[in-house]
Amino acid sequence: MKNQILVTGGTGYIGSHTVVELQQAGFDVVIVDNLCNSKAEVVDNIEKITGIRPQFECFDLTERQAVRDFFGKYKQIKAIIHFAALKAVGESVSKPLEYYRNNLTALMNILEAMRDFGVPNIVFSSSCTVYGQPEHLPVTESTPRLPAESPYGNTKAISEDIIRDFCKATQGVSAIALRYFNPIGAHPSALIGEAPVGVPNNLVPYITQTAAGIRQQLSVFGNDYNTPDGTPIRDYINVVDLSKAHVVAINRLLNGSNKANYEYFNIGTGRGLSVMELVNAFIKSTGVDLNYKIVGRRAGDIEKIWADTSLANNELGWKAEKNIEETLLSAWNWEKNVRGIK
């Protein structure tokens, strides 16, 4: 019988790609999502890619009883991948209580259900935001976490701590937190991808929407940073590569090869790219010209960060494989598909 995995937030951007990879690796997937930032059609598109329809339950994970009812019904779940969260950094500054309530209450309900219904394993979506602007680059897992810049970032740091303490106190549960760097791109089928609501905050969706003519111009936020070309540096990780890291983490938990009952890993490429390097790679890989303009810095942006991925490479046996050109081309193909551009 196939091992059954619960994917919360499974109709979202990273969740949907991970469902595909899990199914292709032979897992039976149940999605829970309340569709606050995704659409039910994603389930159809996952089925188009894999030929297997994941089970889908639509409810809000902050509702404690609904979570308990769910685990009472699905008794075979062997592990959880917990993606469901609100993730807009700027919005979290103006709506801190909504962010703390959604992200922390959902996590607490899930951990409580793991304890009470005997689900032994969880993989958690954390973020490189927990490092703030590190003093030394690249960041390793032993780089100290810094106070969060936003309520969103703080929910990630607090969630890691809650999971760590829960694992310490609870016999038989194990967790892996994956600290994602900047996920970008889409599935090569162009059937699933990132679908931001309204004006995108993130660089790559803004680029693809500008290229598609939805936005007039990309604003490049600052070229006076202490970097070779003056624009900020990030570690952009292909979403399919990132999704595969989750399959590896799940296998590690299921076969008990984890070295501690709470572990955390950086998931990036190990390579930093500046905004202008990324813009130029987009133009080169797609052949589409991009209207952009250098403007002032965006408040709260850090200057540079990229991952040391040695621990994930050596311990998980996972490595990012896709290059930036094919990743940006996949993002563009997805945008074209969404907009009906030939």
Which residues are at the interface with ligand UDP (CB under 6 A)? 182, 201-203, 206, 218-221, 232, 234, 275, 298, 301
Residue 254, interface with ligand NAD (CB under 6 A)?
no
Residue 38, interface with ligand NAD (CB under 6 A)?
yes
The values of phi and psi at residue 253, to 5°, are -70, -45
Minimum CB distance to ligand UDP smaller for 63 or for 149: 149
**Residue 74 binds what, of ligand NAD, ligand UDP, none (CB under 5 to 8 Å, by partner type)?**
none
Q: State how beta strands 273-274 and 233-234 pair.
A: antiparallel
Residue 12, interface with ligand NAD (CB under 6 A)?
yes
Minimum CB distance to ligand UDP smaller for 71 or for 83: 83
Residue 200, interface with ligand NAD (CB under 6 A)?
no
Cβ 53 to ligand UDP shortest distance, Å: 32
Residue 338, interface with ligand NAD (CB under 6 A)?
no
Structure-token pair, residue 159: 């969630």
Residue 33, interface with ligand NAD (CB under 6 A)?
yes
Among 180, 206, 262, 332, binds ligand NAD (CB under 6 A): 180
- What DSSP designation does 314 have? I
First to last CA, the chain: 43
**Residue 178 binds what, of ligand NAD, ligand UDP, none (CB under 5 to 8 Å, by partner type)?**
none
How far is it, in rounded angstroms, from Cα 110 to Cα 303?
35
Q: Could you identify the residue written with the tokens 């907009």?
A: 339
Amino acid at 116: D
How far is it, in rounded angstroms, from Cα 262 to Cα 169?
11
Using alpha carbons, select from 269, 242, 321 the residue that is nearest to residue 20: 242
Burial of 177 per CB tally in 10 Å (0-12, 13-18, 19+): buried
Structure-token pair, residue 131: 């490092």
Minimum CB distance to ligand UDP smaller for 88 or for 167: 88
Cβ 42 to ligand NAD shortest distance, Å: 8
**Residue 206 binds what, of ligand UDP, ligand NAD, none (CB under 5 to 8 Å, by partner type)?**
ligand UDP
Cβ 175 to ligand UDP shortest distance, Å: 24
Residue 204, interface with ligand NAD (CB under 6 A)?
no
Residue 154, interface with ligand NAD (CB under 6 A)?
no
Site size toward ligand NAD (CB under 6 A) is 27
**Residue 298 binds what, of ligand NAD, ligand UDP, none (CB under 5 to 8 Å, by partner type)?**
ligand UDP
How far is it, in rounded angstroms, from Cα 47 to Cα 20?
8
Task: Write out the catalytic residue numbers.
Answer: 152
Residue 40, interface with ligand NAD (CB under 6 A)?
no
How far is it, in rounded angstroms, from Cα 4 to Cα 59?
19
Label residues 271-303 b or e (16+ Cβ within 10 Å = b): bbbbbbbbbebbbebbeeeeebeeeeeeeeebe
Using alpha carbons, select from 6, 12, 4 the residue that is nearest to residue 239: 12
**Residue 201 binds what, of ligand NAD, ligand UDP, none (CB under 5 to 8 Å, by partner type)?**
ligand UDP
How far is it, in rounded angstroms, from Cα 37 to Cα 85?
9
Among 14, 110, 267, 331, binds ligand NAD (CB under 6 A): 14
**CA-to-CA separations, 59 to 69, 71, 90, 155, in angstroms, rounded:** 11, 13, 25, 21
Q: Could you identify the residue written with the tokens 């194990």?
A: 174
Residue 35, interface with ligand NAD (CB under 6 A)?
yes
Residue 19, interface with ligand NAD (CB under 6 A)?
no
Which residues contact ligand NAD (rule: CB under 6 A)?
9, 11-15, 33-38, 60-62, 83-87, 102, 106, 125, 127, 180, 182-183
